[in-house]
Chains A and B, each alone.
Chain A
Amino acid sequence: MTQGRPESDPTISDRQGWMGLLARAAPDRLAELMPGPLPTHALLRAPEIGAVMVRGRIGGTGAPFNLGEMTVTRCSVRLEEGTVGHAHVQGRDRDHARRAAVIDALMQGPGAEAVKRSVLDPLARDEAARRHARAARAAATRVEFLTLVRGEDA
């Protein structure tokens, strides 16, 4: 029941923020924002496609149950100066995972502000726009029972 709640440590909650954003990003868009060649890095764990069992809760809030799996690709890298970056990204794109791991490492170093401006901020704007577009269309389908009898405009 702790999901969605940022951890109390601000550096952890910041990192959760960008890792989640990178995991959800469209691989093509991420590659466009961060074209190669990537900064020199060693692969601690080469990109690996796998599955994660997604769980739900009985009745929405009760005991967990296994809903089904989703594809996830993970990767861990170390930059030349020694910073380690990790990624678990949705889908089966190895470059996506590798890029996300490199960005995770860069975000812990002195270049973080520049990476945030050039990569993370545009991703966050894309995501907000995508969500708003769905939410706004859904909102237009809200049934307003009470407005049916509003008479003062007649």
Chain B
Amino acid sequence: MYVAVKGGERAIDAAHAFLAEDRRGDPGVAELSVAQIRQQLALAVNRVMAEGSLFDPDLAALAIKQARGDLIEAIFLIRAYRTTLPRHGASRPVDTGAMACVRRISATFKDAPGGQVLGPTFDYTHRLLDFALLADGEVPPAPQAPPREGPVPHVTDFLGRDGLIEPVPPCDDAPRDLTREPLELPADRALRLQALARGDEGFLLGLAYSTQRGYGRTHAFVGELRIGTVAVEMDIPELGFAVGIGEIEVTECETVNQFKGSRTEPPQFTRGYGLVFGQTERKAIAMALVDRALRWRELGEDFAGAPAQDEEFVLSHADNIQATGFLEHIKLPHYVDFQAELELIRRLRAEAMASPEAAE
């Protein structure tokens, strides 16, 4: 039975007007500008760019304003917008070794060349509410020191020099693209990293934590965590050479994991890798742990049945827009579906009542 339902338009229009008014809040309180969100809620902006999979801080800030601070709704807006953009091409792979780092720490080597640079971090704060922020006030200028020149080498290079960590074979094959073709399993590592880079931070955090607690344990150390800007370059066909098309802030995490060796490989450390748009270090660390857990087959490890090792489970559920779309659609009208269920239950009950057992 098909029942056309109309008549919601006026209610919907009124609901959206109500939403707009609530979004604005008390008109006696100054309106928030997109520039303020971009500047002062930068980590929310970064998360929306990372999971929206589009680096554009102004758009992400606008989406956060429109979504009233609901970051998954903001990510949804960015994902919808990006589908309207023509693809101008693909960049050359960014060189994170040449990153202009504002933060660079290693949990494995105290004296890593290039040093431990803390950057603008919450680490070592006391996590006490700062009531001074209730009042407007000038921020004292941060101290400065002469910067060191030259690129900062990756910490894992030092282990690689002695053959103590698995090598990373150089390669220039064009990766498959999740946004252009449906996800097919098994996925290669490049495709998995794309899915993880745009995956939900909370989901990856939970999975990564599960590996630390023993569900697919990989004994991860943060070999290095770095945050900073990298140049983005693209080959321009009409020019015949590559030019810089901008620069982006990224967070990179390399984990160093225990590995006892296999039939083909000597005992050595292995790697997990995380790379995420913006200053997003919780996500980058989680990504690296989940990346490493998913590599069990390639490294000849046992499948312990842990969720973080299950490629199909991880990749099918990491995307919060797919997840929220399917989850939230069940609140929308299902009158006809439910009518059918209701009739089925009534018929089954009637049959059960009429059967001989029920009569006794």
A interface list, Cβ under 8 A from B? 1-4, 7, 12, 15-16, 19-21, 23-24, 48-72, 74, 76, 86, 88-92, 131-145
- A2: which B residues are within 8 A, CB to CB? 92, 242
Hey, what's the 0/1 contact readout for B81-111 against A, CB within 8 Å counting as 1?
A: 0100111111111111110111100000011
6 smallest beta-carbon distances between A and B, as pairs: A20-B244, A90-B246, A135-B147, A65-B190, A136-B144, A62-B168
Decide if B56 touches A70 in the complex (CB within 8 Å): yes
Contact of B85 (CB < 8 Å), options: A49, A58, A86 = A49
Decide if A138 touches B88 in the complex (CB within 8 Å): no
Given contacts A56-B96, A72-B246, A135-B147, 20 further A-B contacts (CB under 8 A): A2-B242, A20-B231, A23-B244, A50-B88, A53-B90, A54-B248, A55-B94, A57-B94, A59-B271, A62-B169, A64-B175, A67-B94, A70-B54, A72-B234, A72-B245, A91-B58, A134-B102, A137-B143, A137-B144, A139-B117
Bound complex: CA A68 to CA B173 (Å): 17
Bound complex: CA A136 to CA B101 (Å): 11
Closest A residue to B154 using CB positions:
A60
- Taking chain B's interface residues, is the majority helix, strand, or loop, or is none over half, making it mixed? mixed
Contact of B118 (CB < 8 Å), options: A57, A132, A141 = A141
Closest chain A CB from B108 CB (angstroms): 15
B interface list, Cβ under 8 A from A? 49-50, 53-56, 58-59, 82, 85-98, 100-103, 110-111, 115-120, 142-148, 154, 156, 168-175, 177-179, 189-191, 193-194, 197-198, 231-234, 236, 238-239, 241-248, 250, 252, 254, 271, 273, 275, 277
User: What is the total of A-B residue contacts with beta carbons within 8 Å?
Assistant: 252
Closest B residue to A138 using CB positions:
B102
Contact of B102 (CB < 8 Å), options: A52, A67, A70, A137 = A137
Bound complex: CA A131 to CA B231 (Å): 13
- B252: which A residues are within 8 A, CB to CB? 60
Closest chain B CB from A114 CB (angstroms): 22
Closest chain B CB from A134 CB (angstroms): 6
Closest A residue to B114 using CB positions:
A142
Bound complex: CA A104 to CA B115 (Å): 40
Bound complex: CA A57 to CA B233 (Å): 14
- A51: which B residues are within 8 A, CB to CB? 54, 82, 85-88
What are 21 A-B pairs with beta-carbon distances under 8 A?
Answer: A3-B95, A24-B246, A51-B86, A58-B193, A58-B273, A60-B154, A62-B169, A62-B170, A65-B191, A65-B194, A66-B177, A68-B198, A69-B53, A69-B82, A91-B56, A92-B58, A131-B100, A134-B100, A134-B102, A137-B102, A141-B103
Closest chain B CB from A7 CB (angstroms): 6
Decide if B86 touches A90 in the complex (CB within 8 Å): no
Closest chain A CB from B235 CB (angstroms): 10
Decide if A65 touches B245 in the complex (CB within 8 Å): no
- Residue of A7, A56, A132, A135 with most chain B CB atoms under a 10 A cut-off: A56
Decide if A55 touches B244 in the complex (CB within 8 Å): no
Closest chain B CB from A62 CB (angstroms): 4
Decide if A56 touches B275 in the complex (CB within 8 Å): yes
Decide if B100 touches A59 in the complex (CB within 8 Å): no
Closest B residue to A12 using CB positions:
B241
- A58: which B residues are within 8 A, CB to CB? 168, 189-190, 193, 273
Bound complex: CA A72 to CA B144 (Å): 33
- B193: which A residues are within 8 A, CB to CB? 56, 58, 65
Closest chain A CB from B225 CB (angstroms): 12
Closest chain A CB from B355 CB (angstroms): 60
Closest chain B CB from A48 CB (angstroms): 7
Closest B residue to A74 using CB positions:
B88
Bound complex: CA A90 to CA B187 (Å): 31
- B92: which A residues are within 8 A, CB to CB? 2-3, 55
Decide if A139 touches B146 in the complex (CB within 8 Å): yes
Decide if A141 touches B119 in the complex (CB within 8 Å): yes
Decide if B118 touches A19 in the complex (CB within 8 Å): no
Bound complex: CA A2 to CA B194 (Å): 23
Contact of B241 (CB < 8 Å), options: A16, A67, A88, A134 = A16
Contact of B54 (CB < 8 Å), options: A66, A71, A131, A134 = A71
Closest chain A CB from B32 CB (angstroms): 21
- B91: which A residues are within 8 A, CB to CB? 52-55
